[in-house]
Amino acid sequence: MNKSDYVEFTEKMEKTIEVMQTNFAAVRAGRANASVLDQIKVDYYGNPTPINQIATIASPDPRTLTIQPWDTGTLKLIEKAIQASDLGINPQNDGRIIRLVFPQLTEERRKELVRQIRKYGEESKVAVRNIRRDAMEKFKAQKKKSEITEDDLKTAEKDLQKITDDHIANIDKLMEKKEKELYEI
């Protein structure tokens, strides 16, 4: 078995980790960060649209985000989308811009965010393991068709386990880093 036999599965595992990191970025860490709005979509003329595509997002200070829509008619829509999200911040609408003031993180909120991070991490680990399972099924099917030998199958199983273990270790490391980041604030 050579490396090219595993490229497809390694890329899927890498993509899983990228998705997890995107989810991590949306977990706010006490500082105002525009990426917390990335997952929120506004119903703009019947299309779910990311806020950053219909408004300017700025951070005038470390605890505040301002959202200034290009079309003031969307202010209420943006406000409603933020309230409906799990962001946990009440938007302040002055008729021109929306302000999001991020409160100092309490110990309880930190624990809640850590639980959310661990949930994303576990979902990613499950996805990686599912990719390994799918890969093994593919190799077993090849063995059944006599396209590969029993030894090739054993080698593939060992190699896939190593690739999976490496990706799971990476997920653990990223989870630990994000949790540490939450407690340093």
Res 3: pLDDT: 63
Which strands form 55-61's sheet, in the order they lie side by side?
Answer: 55-61, 64-69, 98-101, 92-93
Q: What average pLDDT does the chain have?
A: 85
All structural domains of the chain = 3-24+106-183 (1.10.132.20), 31-101 (3.30.1360.40)
- The sign one gets for the Cα dihedral 59, 115, 121, 174 is positive
pLDDT tens digits, residue range 55-114?
888 888 877 888 888 888 888 888 888 888 877 778 888 888 888 887 777 788 788 888
Q: What is the pLDDT of residues 172-181, one digit of tens each?
A: 999 999 888 8
Residue, of 38 and 147, whose pLDDT is higher? 147
Q: What is the DSSP letter of 105?
A: P
* pLDDT tens-digit map of 14-28: 999 999 988 887 776
DSSP symbol at 36 = G
In this prediction, residue 57 carries a pLDDT of 87
* 117 neighbors 24 (Cβ within 8 angstroms): yes
Chain position carrying tokens 């993509």: 15
E strands, the chain, are 41-44, 47-50, 55-61, 64-69, 92-93, 98-101
